[in-house]
Structure formats: structure tokens, C-alpha cells
Amino acid sequence: MKKNILYTMLFVAAAFVMVSCGDDDSAGKSRITYYPTIELTGGSYYVADKGSTWEDPGYTSIMGGEDVSDQVTISGNVDTSKPGLYTLTYTTAKNEDGFGASTTRTVIVADPNDPVEGLYWNSSDSYRIRQGAEVKYGNEYPVVVLSNGDGTYDVDDMLGGWYCYRAGYGSDYAMGATISVADGTVTLEDGYVPGWDDGPDEGFEGTFDAATGTFTLTTKYANMDFVQTWVKQVKE
């Protein structure tokens, strides 16, 4: 019994010494890790005119209260000679622990003389009707419309971001489509949702107001109505 008590006392004493040594080693020492941040001037979606000279609208990167924007690297390129979507990736400097940050900007090159082509924002008041119940989109979501040069246009999502952005499913659940616009009437030529391997129902309705740059649409899909208003973003 005495032997067990002795062993216990020795163990406690050893543990005390170890803790004390550890305290001495770390006493008076503290460390703060600063993580870099980056903010894009002009937003994550930006419209550039076809034929213009590309100039990045800018960005700001801060780390530990200091401006380190000059250490940001940009990958990707923008070809303003032809309409299209271009993605730029901005990567910050890394801190002493090797942590950095990155973000992307989507640049839409569009013909300023084409009243239809460009970047649109689906209104937060747009809504889906399912079994008679209306549910609003709740936020604005981007929609890109690009000319094919033959009177038709490619649209990246005729559902206006409902599944792609609102539900968070990603681009496979956007309804890419081809439309034509004549005398203010929009015709849906085709549409396809890769994630579900299907397309729109019959009965699409749409108009386009060139004066205000506004689409008013009802896309029918999976026995639901997606009633939308898209407003064109005017280049600043």
C-alpha cells in the first residue's frame, strides 16, 4: 500500500514538473495570425464593351492592416474583340503560415450597339409557381445573354438562377437556352438542364422592351412556372 502511495506521489510530482516547464517555455509569448483579404472594385460581374481596350477595374488586398494589393496575381485573360464570358482569378500574397485568398471575376464582353446582348439581373420579386403556391426568388441573380450573330441569342439560364444560385445546385442545373427576339416578342428555340437531362415544358411566354432593357418571361418547367423580370445592367 505504501509502495502504491509512493508511486502515486512520484507521478504527480513528475507531472507538476512537466507542466511547470511547459509554462516557462510559453510564458510571455503570444502570436496573432493575419489572413489576407481581397475586394474587387466593380464587383464579381463586370461588363466590357466589345472592341474596347481592356482595363481591370481594380482590387484591394489587405493583410494585417497593410495594403498588399501590389502582391496580387491575376490569371486569365479578356478578349474584347469578340463577345463572350471570361473568368479572371485574383490570388493574394500568402501570410507567414502559407495561407492566402483568392476570388474570381466574370467579365462579360458585349456589343454596346446590340440592345439585347449583355448582363441581366433577375429581379428578387420574380417567383416560381408550384401547385398554385408562389415563392419569390428573394435575391437578384445574374443572367447572361450573348448573340450568336444570326438573330438568335444564347442564354445561360432561362430559370433565372433558381436552381443554380438560389438552391445552390450549381451550373449543371441552369437551363441553358437559345432564344430569338423580334418586335418585342421572345421565342424560346430550345433549352436544356444537364443535371436532370431534360428541358422546358410547352407554353413559354416572353417579351423584351429595348427602351428599358427588360425581359418579362414565363418559363414552364417540370409542371412549374418561373415568372421572371430581367433588367439589363448598364455599363458604368
Tell me the CATH number at 88. Answer: 2.60.40.10
Are 129 and 60 in a shared domain? no
- Domain termination residue (choose one: 110, 132, 164): 110
Work out how many domains the chain is built from and give that number.
2
Are 148 and 228 in a shared domain? yes
Q: Look at residue 185 and tell me if it is in a domain.
A: yes
Per-residue model confidence as pLDDT tens digits over 154-169? 999 999 999 999 999 9
**Please, are residues 155 and 226 in contact by the beta-carbon 8 Å criterion?**
no
Are 89 and 187 in a shared domain? no
Range of the domain at 63: 37-110
Are 101 and 122 in a shared domain? no
Per-residue model confidence as pLDDT tens digits over 126-181? 999 999 999 999 999 999 999 999 999 999 999 999 999 999 999 999 999 999 99
- Domain termination residue (choose one: 55, 87, 110): 110
Per-residue model confidence as pLDDT tens digits over 66-119? 999 999 999 999 999 999 999 999 999 999 999 999 999 999 999 999 999 999
Are 127 and 222 in a shared domain? yes
Please list, residue by residue across 166-180, b when 16 or more beta carbons sit within 10 angstroms of its beta carbon and e when fewer do. beeeeeebbbbbbbe
Are 227 and 175 in a shared domain? yes
What is residue 236's predicted lDDT score, i.e. its pLDDT?
64
Q: Look at residue 226 and tell me if it is in a domain.
A: yes
Q: How far apart are CA 164 and CA 135, in angstroms?
A: 16
pTM of the model: 0.83
Are 149 and 210 in a shared domain? yes
Q: Collect all residues with Cβ–Cβ distance below 8 Å to 194 and sequence separation of at least 6.
A: 172, 173, 176
Are 164 and 126 in a shared domain? yes
Are 201 and 132 in a shared domain? yes
Q: Look at residue 219 and tell me if it is in a domain.
A: yes
**Please, are residues 114 and 85 in contact by the beta-carbon 8 Å criterion?**
no
Q: Which neighbouring-strand residues pair with 178?
A: 154, 190
Are 143 and 96 in a shared domain? no
- Domain termination residue (choose one: 76, 110, 144): 110
